[in-house]
Structure 1
Amino acid sequence: MPEHPYILHITERPLWDAARETGTYEMSTRGRTLAEEGFIHCSTRAQLRPVANFLYGSEDAPDDLVVLVVDPARLGVPVKYEAPEPGGEEFPHVYGPIPVDAVVDVEVWE
């Protein structure tokens, strides 16, 4: 059972702004869509900093990052906790688009 009810997804503000216009967020991770990956990568609060450093820790990283705080109960699609390799740390994966109304908060990433 997850330690917190919400899951998190770090993204670029323009991608979130575009999702607000269409009604759903469909980016899986930096540079890859839900259609390409099959699910949307998320994290717990404890996993967020290492994930952010991995994805956006380079010099070419955008400076307008936000963290989407997602309520899994509002998704309407499965969330599975899965490890990238057997025995590894499990991360929440959202198997479908994230409706904008499932995002209960948007935090600026510093």
Structure 2
Amino acid sequence: MRIYHLATVSDWERAQEDGEYTTSTRGVSLEQEGFIHASRADQWEGVRDRYYADVEEPLVLLEIDTGLLDVQWVEEPPAPGVDETYPHIYGPLRPSAVVAVTPVRPR
């Protein structure tokens, strides 16, 4: 299965140097949140529009092959009372699990 994560170019470049991606979401680390936020193909544009619309730094969409993850991932609601589920990655994302990187523009 493929899941997606929006990243700033600088965070993605740092992950490639460090060997692991540890940004949960914009301005929040994996250590702070406990997981990395991800989305399905039908969700990432809404996430971009809601949370990244005012970002001036270039963004990339990371396409992640869940079969290549070496940590657990789970589909779950992002907050209590929310019905829609999103993929959450419970550990650092290794760049080797990212099968495509596509530049995207904020809206």
TMscore range, shorter length: over 0.9
SS at match of 2:71: coil
Q: Is the 8 A contact 2:9 2:57 kept in 1?
A: no
Which residue pairs with 2:74 in the alignment? 80
SS at match of 1:79: strand
Which residue pairs with 2:38 in the alignment? 42
Partner Cα separation in structure 1 for residue 41 and residue 88 of structure 2:
14
1:92 corresponds, among 87, 91, 100, to: 87
Q: Is the 8 A contact 2:63 2:100 kept in 1?
A: yes
Which stretches in structure 2 are left out of the alignment for 5+ residues? none
Q: CA RMSD in A?
A: 1.0
Note if 1:102 corresponds to 2:97. Answer: yes
Identity of aligned residues (%): 37
Which stretches in structure 1 are left out of the alignment for 5+ residues? none
Note if 1:18 corresponds to 2:14. Answer: yes
Note if 1:71 corresponds to 2:65. Answer: yes
Length, aligned pairs only: 104
Q: Deviations over 1:25-83 (max 9, x none)?
A: 0000000000000000000010011101111113xx12400000011111111111011
TM-score normalised over the length of structure 2: 0.92
Partner Cα separation in structure 2 for residue 35 and residue 66 of structure 1:
22
TM-score normalised over the length of structure 1: 0.90
